[in-house]
Chains A and B, each alone.
Chain A
């Protein structure tokens, strides 16, 4: 019964989503207040039914209802309850259900937190989001229903969840990632609304910014968690593979980053308007493209579970509708939202434009690399001579990011409208000299050698950090005390600086880990040891261990630091009972300046094992940087100007604005 209830809830959610995509829009064009106000209760309805539906599927997993095909394929009675729960999104159908639940949640959140929006704007935004819900609910119900039953031969036991997915990282990674992916639908809906109304002003940018920041912060954390998962679960110590699935999550992130910056320009200076709209459409389009590529199995990847051309075609149709129609609308309506303010060649506007260009070009490079095998095959008729791997992506991406980092400091210290070169020189000369000197000295002192890559990375990191310090100095120079000055700076300013600091931290983390990691694979018998730098690894031995749904060989390695007892590592090699698949569980001691990583290889007779040991300096900084970025994004949203001023000014204006924009629509229809 419960799965049927879930299925029924999905159908109800679909019906309501159809109403949401039609009624408020009709209300806008008929100027019918009632239809427009209906959008809010409909949103809560959709959300409630999606939650019910999701809970039903979770119930089916927790109670081992293997008559549901999806549960039978992705669960097993031996699976611990928390993995049964996360198995809900362990496969195609359930991922999609989570995806739609997220759309419903964002839509509901917009209807809750946008009390200040003029009703006609809110009605349009919610309608657009309703259309997205309709598309994906239809897709799910028609091609990938998670509640489909196995009518005959209900299996007594399920196939089990892929062991790679039985892991804490996978409990939290997809929800965050999807929150980010789907969150860009809000910016997208706002962009479509701007195109429809032809109204794109500072207020529009101010409404859009918090939503974009939130989605971007979620996506940042989602990607970081995915990378962290790859780092410890795949047992290879790598944290980024340029796998198609990583790329399709990374592209919306890059464009979202560009969007955050261009929204700042649009809000503060009223320029780059149509560009901002295009970026908002692009960010969500790339999210959809990512969903399409992963879900259609178009490009081989670790995450693509099922290849099904029919699903792919339906998804492609959705893509054509959502992306194609909105880009077409953009082509027709973009001239209406043109900006008119002026700026000079060295203004902050231009530096932010450079930021946007670099981010968009790197996105284009990654998109090309991801789709290249496909394009090549389509043009040449047969597949040959193409293999795009990490070398291509690194060559394209790293130099662009280095330039981006170099401009970051210049951009954030420059002023709107006009900044003289001599001012920039005066403010940044010391910063430049200090960072170059430290870029040479620090690696030299620590490792007694310098190479170009290390020099560039360390210099850029210091360049950003000192740039932040210098900027805060400038901003607080006129205040009585430093504390008073620091208090006078807004939260959105701090958000920006925290996120930029995150960028410096990531640069250091990536570069230092890539260059200074020591990786050794050795055959060790009990009692034998391996020395890496200050650390001595002593192999104690391996003993059998029983897990809930696996048996494992658990190794023990004692680590000495400078000859003194320090800690122990317990890497495991697990064999999962249901599928018989073998999984390496590395044990990692995470530290601020270095990770100690141990994984078990194969037994080599006489109790000896092949053991893989890494000492990875600064690898933690990669994730630390990502969390700083996300934290910066969230801090900026907390700025009071997104709340107080809005409430005061807009409540008075609301009815007037509805009238005004209503008349614009009438004009638009008449002409």
Chain B
């Protein structure tokens, strides 16, 4: 015990670093829980889809710009073949794009695995009407993408109505996308 008292104060304070680091992290985790991952960050609601000019995933389609795709109701999906949740989400996208031809599906893929992405679509089916490669990641930055997959609902005027982080499934579609679609139609 005597040994304990001899310890200089700053040395004893150092021992509190682990608990301080943990409390900080717990704070972030708490923040993460209070945030509903499905809610659109307000900054993006009712903002127009950013301008871009990016190559297509398939060389034969050439470049795409914002003007090329805006005009219909768009489901813009950010994905990558390396992303496991995208694998899970993929069959649902495929189903939706077949079921509802009035929607235009736009696939924005990460630029690190174009060959893989092409193979993925070839093997598992291509739900997208437009396949765009986000070369350099500029569109991801403009859209404020946190990771893959993310899905944006864009109306015929090119305004972003809704943003979903993470894979979408039938429940999410029914609860959030369908009411919004009903509104704009």
Of B29, B80, B144, the contact of A383 (CB 8 Å cutoff): B144
Closest to B6 in A: A335
- Min distance, Cβ B144 to any Cβ of chain A, angstroms: 4
Q: How far is the CB of A508 from chain B (nearest CB, A)?
A: 24
Shortest CB distance A173–B (Å): 15
Which B residues are in CB contact (< 8 Å) with A388? Answer: 147
The contact of A584 among B43, B85, B123, B141, by CB within 8 Å, is: B123
Contact indicator B23/A324 (Cβ below 8 Å): yes
Q: Does A544 contact B (CB under 8 A)?
A: no
- Whether B125 pairs with A316 at a CB distance below 8 angstroms is no
A335 touches B84 (CB 8 A): no
Q: Tell me the minimal C-beta distance from B120 to chain A in angstroms.
A: 8
Are B30 and A599 interface neighbours, CB within 8 A?
Answer: no
Chain A positions within 8 Å of B110 at CB level: 389
Of A298, A331, A602, which is within 8 A of B18 by CB? A331
B156 at the interface (CB under 8 A from A): no
| B66 CB-CB contact with A under 8 Å | no
The answer to whether B122 touches A336 (Cβ under 8 A) is: no
Asked if B62 is at the interface (CB within 8 A of a chain A CB), the reply is no
B11-55 vs A: 1/0 string, CB under 8 Å?
010011011001101111111111111000111100000000000
Whether the Cβ atoms of A319 and B26 lie closer than 8 Å is yes
Q: Mark B105-132, 1 if CB is under 8 A from A, else 0.
A: 0000010100010010011110000000
Interface residue count for A (Cβ, 8 Å)?
68
- Stretch in contact with the other chain, from A53-61, A367-375, A471-479: A367-375
Say yes or no: is B167 at the interface (Cβ < 8 Å to chain A).
yes
Chain A neighbourhood of B19, CB < 8 A:
324, 327-328, 330-331
Of A179-187, A216-224, A301-309, the one contacting chain B is: A301-309
Stretch at the interface among A34-42, A234-242, A632-640: A234-242
- The answer to whether A330 and B15 touch across the interface, beta carbons within 8 angstroms, is yes
Whether A313 contacts B33 by the Cβ 8 Å rule is yes
CB distance from B135 to the nearest CB of A (A): 14
Q: Contact check: which of A298, A300, A328, A602 meets B29 at CB < 8 Å?
A: A298
The reply to whether B33 and A582 form a contact with Cβ atoms under 8 Å apart is no
Q: Are B26 and A338 in contact (CB under 8 A)?
A: no
A443 interface residue (CB < 8 Å to B): no
Q: Are B146 and A373 in contact (CB under 8 A)?
A: yes
The B interface, classified by DSSP as helix, strand, loop or mixed, is helix
Asked whether, in the complex, the Cβ of A316 is within 8 Å of the Cβ of B29, the reply is: yes
B177 nearest CB across to chain A (Å): 17
Judge if B71 is at the interface, Cβ distance under 8 Å. Answer: no
The reply to whether B15 and A302 form a contact with Cβ atoms under 8 Å apart is no
In contact, A335 and B22 (Cβ under 8 angstroms): no
Q: With an 8 A cutoff between CB atoms, is A391 at the interface?
A: yes
Q: Are B144 and A385 in contact (CB under 8 A)?
A: yes
Q: Which of B16, B112, B123, B144 contacts A601 (CB 8 A)?
A: B123
Instruction: Decide: A612 and B123 in contact? CB cutoff 8 A.
Output: yes
Instruction: For chain A, residues 289 to 305, give those with C-beta under 8 angstroms from any C-beta of chain B.
Output: 292, 296-302
B136 CB-CB contact with A under 8 Å:
no
- Contacts A278-B18, A324-B19, A324-B23 known; A386 to B146 CB distance under 8 Å? yes
A532: Cβ under 8 A from any B Cβ: no
- Distance of B57 from chain A, by nearest CB (Å): 15
How long is the Cα–Cα vector from A324 to B30 in the complex, in angstroms? Answer: 14
Q: Within the complex, what minimum Cβ distance (angstroms) separates A611 from chain B?
A: 9
Name the one of B12, B32, B81, B82 contacting A374, with C-beta atoms under 8 angstroms.
B32
- B7 close to chain A: CB less than 8 A: yes
A612 touches B119 (CB 8 A): yes
User: Does chain B have a CB within 8 A of A671?
Assistant: yes
A320 to chain B, nearest CB (A): 6
Give the complex CA separation of A559 and B39 in angstroms.
52
Which residues of A are at the interface with B, using a C-beta cutoff of 8 A?
164, 234-236, 238, 241, 243, 274, 278, 281-282, 285, 292, 296-302, 307, 309, 312-313, 316, 319-320, 323-324, 327-328, 330-332, 334-336, 338, 371, 373-378, 382-391, 521, 581-582, 584, 599-602, 610, 612, 667-668, 671
22 contacts between A and B (CB under 8 A): A234-B87, A236-B116, A241-B83, A298-B29, A298-B32, A301-B84, A309-B33, A316-B29, A316-B30, A316-B33, A330-B18, A331-B16, A384-B141, A386-B147, A387-B137, A387-B146, A387-B148, A389-B80, A390-B112, A602-B123, A610-B123, A667-B1
Other than the known A316-B33, A327-B18, A374-B31, what 7 A-B pairs have Cβ atoms closer than 8 Å?
A: A243-B84, A302-B88, A307-B37, A387-B147, A389-B82, A584-B123, A602-B123
Residues of B near any A CB (own CB < 8 A): 1, 3-4, 7, 12, 15-16, 18-19, 22-23, 25-37, 41-44, 80-85, 87-88, 91, 110, 112, 116, 119, 122-125, 137, 140-141, 144-149, 165-167
